[in-house]
Amino acid sequence: MGSGEGVVALFTLSLLFVSYEVVDSAIGVNWGTLSFHKMRPSTVVDLLKANKITKVKLFDTNPDALRALMGTGIQVMVGIPNEMLSSFNSDLFVQQNLSRFIGKNGADIRYVAVGNEPFLTGYGGQFQNLVVPAMVNLQQSLVKANLANYVKLVVPCNADAYEANVPSQGTFRPELTQIMTQLVSFLNSNGSPFVVNIYPFLSLYGNSDFPQDYAFFEGSSHPVPDGPNTYYNAFDGNFDTLVSALTKLGYGQMPIVIGEIGWPTDGAVGANLTAARVFNQGLISHVLSNKGTPLRPGSPPADVYLFGLLDEGAKSTLPGNFERHWGIFSFDGQAKYRLNLGLGNRGLKNAKDVAYLPSRWCVAHPARDMTLVGDHLRLACSEADCTTLNDGGSCSQLGEKDNISYAFNSYYQMQMQNEKSCDFDGLGMVTFLDPSVGDCRFLVGVTDKGLSSSAEAMARWSICHICIGVLIWTLTM
């Protein structure tokens, strides 16, 4: 059966009404792993448990992460990268990535994300015709494996999939109308929610005319009137634009899950600890109040996954240096600011038993002439993370020598403190005195020894393809 025939057959056989259970909103997190300094998966899972986080979203099917999540009761969303949609074997995928982990004392995998923002305008449509056929094949494989009633298929969409001047006019982009009609029919038939990623920070970052207070939840001096409704924050406006778009397709009551939302703490003007805390706390309070939005009063999103759990120092910086600083925790699981997730703890609890490298740092040699340091700085910062040194960053006010030391140390830690990596033709030296300055933290790396070779290969593959995707996205912004 061809993929088109499969879609028609599936829709024809799926005319039964699907009712959705109304549940309280839950706060989950995105666990991204594009980092030079990865904690052991078991340490990350202990961090989730300590903070009573019961829902986590992965961007792949990392076997080490899934093993660590087994027996915890934490509900998991796994992901299939866009580049796999055209070639993966659905039966094999279910067998290797779902069936072998699900079961008594297994991983509680509830969702499979088919692609990640595959309809992004920057991709030029290259993935959009692959999504529904892939979902149909996966659904059939889930049925064969007796998992179809337990594992649901979803497609995380970027908010650029829909558009409007005001929320009530929301529609999906014209070129997506047919595919979205098929997609939401599929989701409805199988009891799956619509998953969307919403980023008020990016609206503010990319538009100098965007009212700053409209990005937060404290009320705005620039509200958006829309008929009988008035919008005081970007989240509600964006959410209701999607509600309107779904309504126009006949699915106005479809549950909506927020797949990604958050605020970075570094790497740009406006990306700082205070703004991130105010945004995320405002979001959590808004969602858990069950107030809902003007078009869905009393009905907030089904789930909200904060982006992200940890900083990811290996992410591409093409969209901006802030890309490496979305975590509510630093790369080593230390809370960046006070945040009440509404899950029983008043604040965040830090990771324990983190496997740090020894307490030593690489700094600029105080007795050496740094005139010829330029090439070494370029090498260090082309491979390691120096984003906090740039304008708007937490280390942007350092003096020249401290700048050099920060770059040297970032490279040294990325190289797992290899002695030769602090040489820089005699310009560097190892110190046992913490060179951190004020709010600028000179890191000590961590180790995740014990990862399987397959997981490491998957991480390298993901970095390559995500960088390509971000480049395409950036060029169209």
User: Catalytic amino acids?
Assistant: 117, 260
- Token digits for 161? 């999939």
Beta bridge pairs of residue 470: none
DSSP H or E segment with residue 78: strand 75-80
Close Cβ partners of 252 (under 8 Å, ≥ 6 residues apart) = 243, 246
**Residue with the two structure tokens 């949609």:** 85
**Helix (H) or strand (E) run with residue 429 in it:** strand 428-431
Inter-residue contact 320 to 388 (CB < 8 Å): no
Spatial distance between the Cα atoms of 142 and 152, rounded to a whole number of angstroms: 9
CA-based nearest residue to 33, from 446, 462, 467: 462
Which of 18, 34, 3 shows the shortest CA–CA distance to 458?
A: 34
Alpha-carbon torsion angle 37, 41, 45, 47, nearest 10: -20
Give the burial class of 89: count Cβ atoms within 10 A of its Cβ; 0-12 exposed, 13-18 middle, 19 or more buried.
Answer: exposed
- Residue in the structure block whose two tokens are 């703490």: 265
Burial of 11 by CB count in 10 Å (0-12 exposed, 13-18 middle, 19+ buried)? middle
Distance between CA atoms of 389 and 374, rounded to whole angstroms? 15
Are the C-beta atoms of 90 and 121 separated by less than 8 Å? Answer: no
Quote the strand ranges of 81-220, DSSP E: 108-114, 152-154, 157-158, 162-163, 171-172, 194-197
103: helix, strand or coil: coil
Tokens of 353: 């038993």
- Cβ atoms of 214 and 235 closer than 8 Å: no
Helices and strands in the chain, H and E counts: 12, 17
